[in-house]
Amino acid sequence: MKYVVACCFVLMLCASCSLFSGLRKRKFTYTVNGQPQTLRILVPKRYAKKQKPTDSASSQQQLYTYKNGALLYIIYTTDTLAQFQPIDTAEHIPKLHPYGGLLYKGLDSAGLFWREIRTDSFRFGYRYVPQEVEILFDSAVNYAGMRHFKK
């Protein structure tokens, strides 16, 4: 019996490691009331460019762009009504994310996936993602959403 339990544990460990093998650990650093904060995140490997723009509303963003056109983003904003990814909420009904916030997901007109988790001041999401790497981007967004709520 102990052998079976040990084998099951090893198999689950290997399966979970292989899921995250296409991801890299990174940090998203943002400022709240003048105090720097850090959120650990995972991003799919082989991004072509990392950017940290700040818009006119002072939202703090971290964007990862990929050669295939995909975009992963993490945004901290004080404007909780701001939309960084326009989502037709009449067509796309949100689901509750297991760790809090609202989850939207869909396909664009080119058949590429998009997804966003909206919480109080955070937006975790991606756009222009082909189906063959969708699971990596889903894992990255889920991890960021989970880490935010476990702080």
Residue 12 in any domain: the answer is no
Mean pLDDT score, 92-98: 84
Claim: this prediction has a pTM higher than 0.85: no
**Number of domains observed in the structure of the chain:** 1
Mean pLDDT for the chain overall = 82
Tens-place pLDDT, residues 96-125: 878 788 899 999 999 999 999 988 889 999
Quick one: tokens of 4?
A: 């079976």
Q: Which residue has the higher pLDDT, 31 or 97?
A: 31
Tens-place pLDDT, residues 7-17: 334 444 444 44
Residue 1 in any domain: the answer is no
**What beta strand segments (E) does 17-59 contain?**
23-32, 35-44, 49-51
Residue 3 in any domain: the answer is no
Residue 5 in any domain: the answer is no
- How many beta carbons lie within 10 A of that of residue 73, not counting itself? 21
Residue 9 in any domain: the answer is no
pLDDT computed for residue 131 by the predictor? 97
pLDDT computed for residue 10 by the predictor? 41
pLDDT computed for residue 15 by the predictor? 43
Residue 45 in any domain: the answer is yes
Q: Which residue has the higher pLDDT, 25 or 14?
A: 25
What lies within 8 Å, CB to CB, of 25 at 6+ separation is 40, 41, 42
Residue 10 in any domain: the answer is no
Task: Give me the domain span that covers residue 60.
Answer: 24-149
d(C-alpha 47, C-alpha 44), whole Å: 7
